Amino acid sequence: MAIETIHHRICPLCEACCGLELKVVDGRVTSIRGHDDDVFSRGYVCPKAVALKDLHEDPDRLRTPLVKRDGKFVAASWDEAFSEIARRLPAIRARHGDDAVAIALGNPVVHKAGLLLYVPRLARALGTRNVFSASTLDQMPKQLASGLMFGDWLSIAVPDIERSDLLVILGANPAVSNGSMWTVPDFRGKAKALRARGGNLIVIDPRRTETAEIADRHIFIRPGGDAFLLAGIVHTLFAENLAQLGRMAPHVAGVDALAEAVRPFAPERVAARCAISADAIRQLARTIAGAERAAVYGRIGTCTQEFGTLANWLIDAVNVLTRHLDEPGGAMFPKAPAFAANTRGATGAGRGVTTGRHASRVSRAPEVFGELPMTCLAEEIETPGTGQLRALITVAANPVLSAPNGPRIAAALDALDFMVSVDVYVNETTRHADVILPGTSPLEEMHYDVAFPQLGYRNCARAGAAVLPLAAERPAEWEILLKLTAIANGRADGDLAQFDDELAAADVKRAAGEHAAAVLEAVAHRRGPERLIDLALRAGPYGDRFGLKPDGLNLEKLFAAPNGIDFGPLAPRIPELLRTPSGRIEIAPPLLLSDFARAAAALDQPAPDFVIVGRRQVRSNNSWMHNLPALAKGRNRCTVLVNPADARRLGLRDGGRARIARGANAIDAQVEVSDAMMPGVLSLPHGWGHDLPGAQLNVAALQPGANLNALLDDRVRDPLSGNAVLSGVAVCVSAIT
Ligand SMILES: Nc1nc2c(c(=O)[nH]1)N[C@H]1C(S)=C(S)[C@@H](COP(=O)(O)OP(=O)(O)OC[C@H]3O[C@@H](n4cnc5c(=O)[nH]c(N)nc54)[C@H](O)[C@@H]3O)O[C@H]1N2
Ligand SMILES: Nc1nc2c(c(=O)[nH]1)N[C@H]1C(S)=C(S)[C@@H](COP(=O)(O)OP(=O)(O)OC[C@H]3O[C@@H](n4cnc5c(=O)[nH]c(N)nc54)[C@H](O)[C@@H]3O)O[C@H]1N2
Ligand code: SF4
Ligand SMILES: [Mo]
């Protein structure tokens, strides 16, 4: 008789990190649902979770390495694939230097413990400055602003939604995205509960989004206007004597400098730039200042714009100035059980963050958090000279669809001498590789969320074992990265397990000094990511300190707690959390103050006739889930939303097609007329355009959609963070008849 087994696992598909309950019979998943007793997500899931089965069973998902011979991929053994890399990659480094090899990291890296924990090892071994990731298409402005204010790149304040009376959301649609830089499963349920207890939800977005639909109030904003709106709000807080620091008073530096810096940004001055009236700006400031428990939260719409770092800084400046930072119901700092720099070392002050330790070769874009902007990748390959990129390793990244000017990136990838991809598909990017090393299905590996407990709406710890076994001949993803690390270190033929032991021992020696031997002994039964996770949990704020605190946390206890372990609601952490050199919250970091001059110069920029913004959809995830039948079925979702008055003026009709152009770049997309759009603003999802030759995505190819990023400009960035500008880009639109 077939035996059914039940497994618990965190969903790796988005930042909500929902706990899943999977049933398996005879090695096949028979059901995937929300895990009702999960301490964090309490049974919530979205339709994407079910698609994990489709992903696992997808016939297009790679299971064997591919090596390109005479322009065609042929199946290869793991030994053959690694030998090819060992033959070609070190030779390029020897000849052209370390910086001739780049690494590009994509979004799924943060959702898989093996990838996230072993990527730094590979990057270190490569010794290259050319590290690119989705962070500069996404949240780098948030990380830079938080780093400068609080002293660590991952000290990010998130709304304590379960205790708030007021939540103001800019440029985020958590009802669909399920939250980002804020791990909050079932946002919708929590927002409804907030309103049911008499609280208010205000959404500021150029589209009346699904989140706006459940809000008390929605305010249209001109794309790219957030920094100006927020400067107007901060101006009002000072002008009307509403700025109150409360408990934070002894912990904040720079208030006077901020007050001075926002003087040119009176509500009347910024109103046109953000298309929100001066009265409404003042009212917003008063509402936020007057609320007992409130948080202002901004996400990708506030990051992927020219003044992204400024906007993200001012969001937290408002939280500080209105007494809502670090207070219950306000914007608070999670305390993660492991891997959080803000729970390590001396507390209350630290080294802070810096940028620009080096710069990109061609654009001279400053390094931020050890990375260069993804929008520099193509030019670094194209531009001859010392330091020119000759080789690239991509790990779970699809920049041909996900980064601006994708066609330029595609052409550049063909000019490389060598490219390796660690990926699960032959897609728009990996089709350019010389070797593809297939990653695992998420169900085949154990999981602990390395990153997201640092962003959780509540403190907890959860881990899950692999649901299905990995075929005997296949390496886990961490072993793939470890082997690449060994190749980069000239140890291609050495013993991998021993190499892993050495790397772990070196880590422990750095962290534990004279106690290193005892610490290593305590985790001697573990290997790979499990060893690193156990080490981090046991040394972490809830940890067992390797036996000193017997009641404390370790991985064994976590595996034995299928519902996870709850550490309660977020608790105040200032000043302990701070790692700035001053030991204060820097509310006016000089780098950010200096950017006000650029903002002032842009105050009178007129609004273009049409700008385009992005949009996320429940049944899609960036560029790579369009091959899963459970999600792909149904109508074409890659539609461009157009306001009815604009549609009339342009002769666009619902269901018809529009040509959207920027300079010589043009795409065409199906029109959806929608009064949810602000006039003059179009909305198109990104990650589509699955009609490129050589990709092997048979389901996605049936409804390829249009690639928004084929249209966007890779030369415009937020200069402070290096983040791409993906929102509010001026375009021309016309009907295709
Ligand atoms: N215009 C516009 N562009 C955007 C955005 C936008 O809002 N507008 N958003 C940006 C944002 S926020 C992000 S995060 C980026 C995302 O862009 P990317 O970081 O490029 O990530 P994805 O598009 O999700 O592509 C994921 C890649 O990982 C592979 N993959 C999936 N699962 C696994 C796995 O388990 N193992 C391995 N090894 N590989 C796997 C997929 O096949 C695919 O190649 O896109 C950005 N691009
Ligand atoms: N279903 C689904 N969920 C996802 C993803 C997905 O692709 N699909 N992607 C995941 C990833 S990688 C990320 S980073 C998160 C992102 O999570 P969110 O930040 O919630 O992402 P979006 O839904 O794109 O919401 C961005 C909003 O910003 C608005 N906007 C655009 N420009 C501006 C502007 O200038 N100002 C303001 N105020 N608003 C603006 C857009 O209209 C849009 O409603 O979602 C994650 N979750
Ligand atoms: S919201 Fe959906 S995709 Fe995101 S973690 Fe939960 S189930 Fe997975
Ligand atoms: Mo993202």
The answer as to whether 503 is a domain residue is yes
Report how far residue 236's alpha carbon sits from residue 234's, in angstroms, rounded to the nearest whole number: 5
Q: Among 36, 41, 45, 183, which residue has the most ligand 3 atoms within 8 Å of its CB, making it the best to mutate?
A: 45
The pLDDT, as a whole number, for residue 307 is 98
The pLDDT, as a whole number, for residue 2 is 86
Q: What is the CATH number of the domain that holds 675?
A: 2.40.40.20
The answer as to whether 85 is a domain residue is yes
pLDDT, mean of residues 79-83: 98
Q: What is the CATH number of the domain that holds 395?
A: 3.40.50.740
The pLDDT, as a whole number, for residue 486 is 98
Whether 133 is in the pocket of ligand 2, judged by its Cβ within 6 Å, is no
712-723: b (≥16 Cβ within 10 Å) or e: bbbeebbbbbbb
| 105/202 same-domain check | no
Question: For residue 10, which phi and psi values (nearest 5 degrees)?
Answer: -85, 135
- CA 564 → CA 12, 220, 556, distances in Å? 16, 40, 12
pLDDT, mean of residues 642-650: 98
Confidence of residue 1 (pLDDT cuts 50, 70, 90): confident
pLDDT in tens, 366-420: 999 999 999 999 999 999 999 999 999 999 999 999 999 999 999 999 999 999 9
Question: For residue 436, which phi and psi values (nearest 5 degrees)?
Answer: -115, 125
Residue 620 alpha carbon to ligand 2 centre in Å: 12
3-class DSSP state of 411 = helix
The answer as to whether 521 is a domain residue is yes
The answer as to whether 17 is a domain residue is no
The answer as to whether 11 is a domain residue is no
3-class DSSP state of 198 = coil
Residue 46 alpha carbon to ligand 3 centre in Å: 5
Last residue of some domain: 503, 530, 561? 561
| 225/284 same-domain check | yes
| 624/725 same-domain check | yes
Structure tokens belonging to residue 355? 């940028």
Confidence of residue 14 (pLDDT cuts 50, 70, 90): very high
Rounded to the nearest angstrom, the gap between the alpha carbon of residue 101 and the centroid of all alpha carbons in its chain is 24
| 312/169 same-domain check | yes
Q: Compute how many other C-beta atoms are within 10 angstroms of the C-beta atom of residue 312.
A: 34
The pLDDT, as a whole number, for residue 421 is 99
Q: Compute how many other C-beta atoms are within 10 angstroms of the C-beta atom of residue 170.
A: 23
Please give the share of the chain, as a percent, with pLDDT higher than 90: 99
| 204/292 same-domain check | yes
The pLDDT, as a whole number, for residue 244 is 95
Domain residue limits at 431: 66-127+373-438
Strand order from edge to edge, sheet including 131-133? 72-75, 66-69, 435-438, 418-423, 391-395, 101-105, 131-133
Phi/psi-derived region of residue 513, left when phi > 0, alpha when psi is between -120 and 50, beta in every other case: left
The answer as to whether 466 is a domain residue is no
Report how far residue 455's alpha carbon sits from residue 349's, in angstroms, rounded to the nearest whole number: 21
Quick one: DSSP state of residue 248? Answer: G
Q: Compute how many other C-beta atoms are within 10 angstroms of the C-beta atom of residue 216.
A: 14
Whether 107 is in the pocket of ligand 1, judged by its Cβ within 6 Å, is yes
pLDDT in tens, 197-237: 999 999 999 999 999 999 999 999 999 999 999 999 999 99
The answer as to whether 365 is a domain residue is no
Q: Among 176, 178, 449, which residue has the most ligand 3 atoms within 8 Å of its CB, making it the best to mutate?
A: 178
Please give the helix or strand (H or E) that residue 287 lies within, else none: helix 278-290
Q: Among 8, 9, 10, 11, which residue has the most ligand 3 atoms within 8 Å of its CB, making it the best to mutate?
A: 11
Report how far residue 201's alpha carbon sits from residue 215's, in angstroms, rounded to the nearest whole number: 5
Q: What is the CATH number of the domain that holds 268?
A: 3.40.228.10
Residue 47 alpha carbon to ligand 3 centre in Å: 8
| 551/519 same-domain check | yes
Please give the share of the chain, as a percent, with pLDDT higher than 70: 100
How many domains does the structure of the chain reveal? 4
Residue 274 alpha carbon to ligand 4 centre in Å: 24
The pLDDT, as a whole number, for residue 650 is 97
Closest atom of ligand 2 to CA, residue 170: 38
The stretches of 513-573 forming alpha helices (DSSP H) are 516-522, 528-539, 555-559
Phi/psi-derived region of residue 663, left when phi > 0, alpha when psi is between -120 and 50, beta in every other case: left
The answer as to whether 49 is a domain residue is no
| 165/311 same-domain check | yes
Last residue of some domain: 400, 420, 438? 438
Structure tokens belonging to residue 624? 């790579």
| 704/657 same-domain check | yes
Confidence of residue 737 (pLDDT cuts 50, 70, 90): confident
Confidence of residue 685 (pLDDT cuts 50, 70, 90): very high
| 177/306 same-domain check | yes
In single-letter form, the type of residue at position 513 comes to: G
pTM strictly above 0.75: yes
| 612/647 same-domain check | yes
Mean of pLDDT over the chain: 97
| 409/321 same-domain check | no
Confidence of residue 422 (pLDDT cuts 50, 70, 90): very high
Residue 157 alpha carbon to ligand 4 centre in Å: 18
pLDDT in tens, 553-564: 999 999 999 999
Report how far residue 95's alpha carbon sits from residue 78's, in angstroms, rounded to the nearest whole number: 26
Evaluate if residue 155 carries a pLDDT over 80.
yes
3-class DSSP state of 73 = strand
Q: Which residues have a beta carbon within 5 Å of ligand 4, which is an ion? A: 138
Quick one: DSSP state of residue 365? Answer: P
Q: What is the 3-state secondary structure (H, E, C) of 143-192?
A: HHHHHHHHCCCCCCCEECHHHCCEEEEECCCHHHHCCCCCECCCHHHHHH
Query: Could you tell me the maximum CA-CA distance found in the chain, to the nearest angstrom?
Result: 76
Contact status, residue 475 vs residue 411, Cβ threshold 8 Å: no
| 612/586 same-domain check | no
Preceding omega of 575 cis (within 30 degrees of 0): yes
Whether 211 is in the pocket of ligand 2, judged by its Cβ within 6 Å, is no
